[in-house]
Structure 1
Amino acid sequence: MHVKNSKPIKVAVLGGPGTGKTTLCKQLDVDYSLAGYISSICEEFAREYIVNYGVPTNIFEQFLLYEGQKKREEYLKSSDIIFCDNATILCYVYGILTCNFNNPKEKYALLKLYEWAMRDLNEYEIFYIPREIELIDDGVRYQNLKFALEVDKKIVDFLSIMNISYVEVKGSMPERVSTVKKSLNLPAKKTAADIVHDDIKEKIC
């Protein structure tokens, strides 16, 4: 895999609530920044939305979440690589969970979310984290384990049914980081010596 010239590499780390997506993104951001890349983290817009407006309860709110997530990713477009602990394509997955299939308008809304998900799909390098750790109440996200497990299943179903290529990431944090790095296969832009030299130069200047 090669670094794109015009667009950043967007790494989507997918998984249900509380699977360690954000922690992994933060570690990868540090590692690739040290390797000389302009690296950024795009944290999920949904968290901010929930803090301000509460947990989304209908499918139409997924359009607001989609636009918010899209704008966050667009804002970071000057980066070499963006680590996303969410992705616009997941708005379709959450749309499935909130859609009233007896309502024609909601079925049409779900179709539009599907179209948008398919349109955005090729923008991401996709990684999936299965649930290996206990769900911890962070006071913000969906805290019901039953619902979290349902989200896990819907994400895997979506990836599998649509034959979407993804890499499963599991194990300890070093193991997860190693799996992502091996898959991305990006060469370091800086060596350890370069980093030390830059640090000394900055202190002198």
Structure 2
Amino acid sequence: QRHEFANRMHVAAGLIDADRVREARTFLGELVERGPVVFPVVGLDLLGDPFLHSFLGAKGVEAGERGVALRIADDTQLLGTVREAEDVATVLGNLIDNAVAAAVAGERRPRWVEVAVLDDGDALVFTVSDSGSGLGGSDPWAPPSREQDAAGDVHGHGIGLPLSTEIARRSGGDLWVIDPGGPDSGAVFAARIGGAIDRARHDEKENT
């Protein structure tokens, strides 16, 4: 089943790389409707966008193989569809990968990563939290903030954070730390990507 899913994701990635985003969205939408892949992500049904559904499902499979449960926060709400799939995949994917690494490195059980997804006009906003030790512990996160230049002050940690920060800021958004975490909780990061949501498609569906 994982092999079949991997093949499908390669097809979708190829379409996106070739700038055939509309075809990729149609392909992913068909996969969501017919499956049979069951993703190990609690709350995934809160996301109607086919790209995010498939992408976070794939991340859930990867996280599960490392003993980490990926889940979608209850307050997730997305009106519209993702139209900047490559930017979203890079930023959100890097945050999730770092959160999974932090959860694996931490001593808390069970190990988990939680993603909340919201829209703000045409911007996509998401937070990523984990069960790790926080930025002051053995957490592999780098701590970019609104006061620090994340792209230039990563000290060799936080895989992909300089690129993710650059992408977010290029769109008029940002990437920052909500909570550095500590003895009782892991870190919480957030990112905003401007122009990443197409609200028109949602409005069209609502009016039909």
TM range (shorter): under 0.3
Q: Looking at CA atoms only, which structure, 1 or 2, has the larger radius of gyration?
A: 1
Normalised by the size of structure 1, how large is the TM-score? 0.26
Give the structure with the larger strand fraction: 2
Normalised by the size of structure 2, how large is the TM-score? 0.26
